[in-house]
A and B are shown apart, each in its own frame.
Chain A
Amino acid sequence: MLSRALAAILLLATCGVDPDDGRTVVTFPGSALGEEGRLLQRQIVRFMEENPDIRVDLQRTPDDATQRHQLYVQRLNARSHDPDILQLDVIWTPEFAAAGWLLPLDEAAVDTDEFFPATLEANRWWDGQLFAVPWFVDVGMLYWRTDLLPAAPATMDALTRGARAGMSDSVPRGIVWQGARYEGLVTTFLEYLGGFGGEIMTSDGRVVVDSPQAIRALTFMHAQIHNLGIAPEAVLTWHEEEARFAFQNGTAVMMRNWPYAYALLASDDSRVAGRFSVAPMPAAPGGHPTAALGGNQLAINARSDAPEAALRLIAFLTATDQMLERAELAGQFPTRHALYDDPRLAASLPMPADQARAIIEAATPRPVIPIWTELSEILQIELHRALVGQASPEVALGRAARAMTEVVDEAGIPELQERMRRRGVALR
């Protein structure tokens, strides 16, 4: 009730048209921190210069994705017309679309041919209707020390051997990754899972996270810490930044992380500047090198009072020039595949453009399903239990699969899809 009342006040305050100068107002609570925030502000100023009839209100939001998610859900659930533009994590689009909170987008207005299919697929729901435009794409990669290893490991065995060969008193860690109990652990697991040839859900919606491949993948992650001694126990409390600190201080041979780390590791105050490189994650026989697909999308609130202006801003922010600038300054990979032939992009990428393109094209999305965050929580807890030794990988994954299947069945996803298919995409 209170949030509804607040939303109503916000609505009066910001919606539609500025009473003073008659400009259309577009509200955008996006990431506003650090270099990324400054970049976004500059781009928005440029947009307003080119579009004098629009005023963009960039609102500060929590940088933490979970908190931004809560903020959006509270406002949208209260049927707020504000904000107009939403910055969505790749796993939220189906959830928000299923709730009827997103405006279906006209494919023709977005020149979808130019984007990586994988990034578009993550933003489709119900009969392939597009609900958000991929803004930048994140892929999990293996950072490795060129001064300690002759080449990046391509297999899991090579990873173990390389970690051991590179470890010493001054470099006590073979490999570091994100092992705290949060979404990042699931993305790390997803990459080992693909590396061993498993998946979380089949294309027809069955949970198969207890497959032999999955058990092998989780057993390998567990062994890295407890048997092989190549990953520190502390990774089980680490997020992206703790892993980066360890690698940047020169105390790890390898690291699993997103592209953002590259620019920071290559900067002047990094101890490993010039002594590291990136490669796809390794794979075991029967598996394939797997990168978890991450990244952010831009979508329009279904109740927005300025959908046309919002779409113009999204088109601007996802246009070639802005993406190139974003890649150069924030190290975020463009979602347009054509750009990977552009020499301007090659200069700002951490790896050969061909290789980056190959990693993105093969990137594995997490299941595109509205209840992913709920499924993910179950998986996070069971993965963590197995990795800290509270349960065997087999038992933990068995429990996870049962609990996840229960939620999927209860949610009635197949029925929902069928109903929507018959009704067409009339969501609002």
Chain B
Amino acid sequence: MRRPVAPRQRGIEIEERRLGWLLVAPALVVIAGIALFPLVWTVWESIHLHDLRMPWRGRPFVGLENYVAIAGDRRFWASMGHTVFFTGTSITLELLLGLFLALAMNRSFRGRGLVRAAVLVPWAIPTVVAALLWRFLFDTEAGIANALLVGAGVLEEPIVWFIRAATAWVPVILADVWKTTPFVALLLLAGLQNIDESLYEAASVDGAGPWWQLRYVTLPLLKPAILVVLIFRTLDAFRVFDLIYVLTGGGPGTATEPIALYTFNVLLQNLQFGYGSALSVIVFLVTFGIAVLYIKGLRVDLTGARGR
């Protein structure tokens, strides 16, 4: 039951509430301006026909026509498939390698600080620079990849990596793994250091070997850290753009084109703002969905980990 409030006190409450709104107003305006407005604008564009190359067609309202067209767009579905493939493959490799690195870095040895810092170097290199580097490594003539593989007898002669889908993916995945595994390893390392040493002691007393300790102590307790890694990496990998733009340009044909690159081509190369905006909205919805799923999973797990 509400306590009766003196008119003067209620005045103060209203005053305070108003002050509160006033104080957060600038932040709200900024958020609305940089997050909400572009989103609403994009949705608005996506229900119109707006093609800068054909200004004579005007900018008529077309309802969901752009979305219907996307549903039947083979290049869209193919690019979605490429994105899922890239995301799944690269994250699996990064998690396995990252876990291995984190376990190694978690042990105490001389020069551990240096190793931990050095491991981060690939992550600090701008993606475009890294992509150029990897393109050079996989160059047909000057590339070291061909030289090594021919030298080792794996290949009979140098191959052109970027004209077959199967081989064009190799440098793409390798470059991403090389670049982001350190980030994954660092997050997992932080998770490892949160695990109580006494648990391992108890496990050894119970006669658990290294594998059992990993399986029944480390991995369950590392789950929150792994989920954080998955959120960041899935969202990042799903929006992959610069790496593939530089490495393969989405080729051969469109065989390595991810959804972000397709959207970029439609929006900024073909200047189809309506259709491109509809594509952007779909990318937004998918990434938003992934984020919601993960956050839900994470919350449940965090409370579980706290042993409630």
Contact = CB atoms under 8 A, between A and B. Distances in A.
Contacts of B199: none
Interface stretch (B48-56, B86-94, B298-306): B48-56
Interface in A385-413: 385, 388-390, 411-412
A118 to B, nearest CB: 24
A422 to B, nearest CB: 14
Contacts of A77: 52
B255 A374 contact: no
Interface string B232-261: 000000000000000001011111000000
Given A73-B271, A237-B163, A377-B270, A385 B53 contact: no
Interface string B52-73: 1111110000000000000000
B125 interface: no
B253 A390 contact: yes
B128 to A, nearest CB: 14
B106 interface: no
Given A234-B141, A234-B160, A95 B53 contact: yes
A412 B56 contact: yes
Interface string B159-179: 110111100000000000000
B140 interface: yes
A373 interface: yes
B268 A70 contact: yes
A164 B180 CA distance: 47
B252 A233 contact: no
Interface residues of A, number: 31
A181 B270 CA distance: 15
Contact of B53 (A180, A237, A370, A388): A370
A66 B265 CA distance: 11
A66 B245 CA distance: 14
Interface string A198-220: 00000000000000000000000
A77 B160 CA distance: 41
A347 interface: no
Contacts of A389: 164
A30 B54 CA distance: 25
Contact of B270 (A373, A412, A416): A373
B141 A98 contact: no
A57 B54 CA distance: 31
A384 B253 contact: yes
Contact of B55 (A99, A382, A419): A99
A377 B265 CA distance: 10
A181 B252 contact: yes
A373 B53 contact: yes
Nearest to B52: A77
A371 B272 CA distance: 11
A388 to B, nearest CB: 4
B252 A384 contact: yes
A390 B163 CA distance: 10
Contacts of A370: 53-54
A385 B163 contact: no
A273 interface: no
A100 interface: yes
Contact of A385 (B56, B162, B253, B265): B253
Interface in A155-207: 180-181
A98 B162 CA distance: 37
Interface in A5-44: none
B57 A411 contact: yes
B52 A73 contact: yes
B9 interface: no
Interface string B31-62: 00000000000000000000011111100000
B269 interface: yes
B270 A388 contact: no
Interface in B106-151: 140-141
A100 B55 CA distance: 9
A319 interface: no
A411 B54 contact: yes
Interface string A253-288: 000000000000000000000000000000000000
Nearest to A374: B270
Nearest to A95: B53
A388 B162 CA distance: 10
A234 B254 contact: no
A325 B16 CA distance: 76
Contacts of B253: 181, 381-382, 384-385, 388, 390
24 contacts: A66-B269, A77-B52, A95-B53, A98-B56, A99-B52, A100-B55, A232-B160, A233-B140, A234-B160, A236-B162, A237-B162, A237-B163, A370-B54, A371-B54, A373-B53, A373-B269, A384-B251, A384-B253, A385-B252, A388-B164, A411-B54, A411-B57, A412-B56, A416-B56
Question: 7 tightest CB-CB pairs across the interface, nearest first?
Answer: A385-B253, A388-B252, A233-B160, A236-B163, A234-B140, A388-B163, A99-B55
Given A73-B271, A370-B53, 13 more contacts: A95-B53, A99-B55, A233-B160, A236-B160, A237-B163, A371-B54, A377-B269, A381-B253, A381-B254, A388-B163, A388-B164, A388-B251, A390-B165
Interface of B: 52-57, 140-141, 159-160, 162-165, 249, 251-255, 265, 268-271
